[in-house]
Structure 1
């Protein structure tokens, strides 16, 4: 660990401790920067909450949103490859919108990546394809049971 990283970590810890002391024991503590980096979707309800977080610096918000964008992009890619008939509950569009406030270049790159993923597996507007898939699987299972 570099000396600058150690100094930054100590500064972050002091800032979080000062905040916890200021709000008192009766109030819930604010999420730490590290927690937000590891699981941004679990720490914040929406990407807008990250953008409006009062204790994170501009750079910290950008980094958390980049982490969240990466996670959501992977989720979207896996869902589109595995079950393109389903509409994944990805928040990538909202994350990119929040990220564009802090890093327009990165937001643009993520938008291009999302377009590419969605172009590979266009989503269907109705659940008809999913119903057909489920029905085919049920029929296939029934037929295999009968032939055994």
Structure 2
């Protein structure tokens, strides 16, 4: 039987008894870092069976921040492009767990989109 190295003077634990990180914890960390990699849509976060409401809220806040950056950068760099963002779906899902934060993101998105429309009109004239 294989054992895990430990400090001298202690009893080594068999590998079968060494606990690996819980799959749900690992998934939460991965989802927090890159939600798009883990979930096909924000509604999958809402329906996730293992995450608490607070964990879902945190993942959706992270996702909203990422999508907001995408909208903002694309609007500045290439205002003529129609960016495919999931921010609307993320905000909708986030509103189930944190309506005030969802409202703030919605306001920010509307401002970004308004600026992008103005930039496009300026390019056309």
Measured on the aligned residues, the alpha-carbon RMSD in Å equals 2.3
Hey, what does 1:79 align to over in structure 2?
Answer: 74
Which residue is equivalent to 2:113?
118
Q: Give the corresponding residue for 2:17.
A: none
Q: Structure 2, unaligned stretches of length 5 or more?
A: 1-20
More helix by share: 1
Q: Secondary structure at the residue paired with 1:32?
A: helix
Moved over 4 A (4+): none
Given that 1:35 and 1:43 are in contact with CA atoms closer than 8 Å, whether structure 2 keeps it comes out as yes
Once the two structures are superposed, the pairs formed by residues 1-148 of structure 1 within 5 Å of their partners are: 13-14=21-22, 16=24, 32-122=27-117
Cα offset for 1:42? 1.2
C-alpha deviation, 1:111, in angstroms = 0.3
Deviations 1:54-80 (A, max 9, x none): 000000000000000000000000001
Inter-CA distance 32–122: structure 2 relative to 1 (3 Å threshold): same
How many matched pairs?
102
SS in 2 for 1:79: helix
Structure 1 stretches lacking a partner, 5+ long: 1-12, 18-30, 133-148
Q: Report the TM-score, using the length of structure 2 for normalisation.
A: 0.75
Q: Return the offset for 1:121.
A: 1.2
Q: Relative to 1, partners in 2 of residues 1:42 and 1:80: Cα closer, same or farther, differing over 3 Å?
A: same
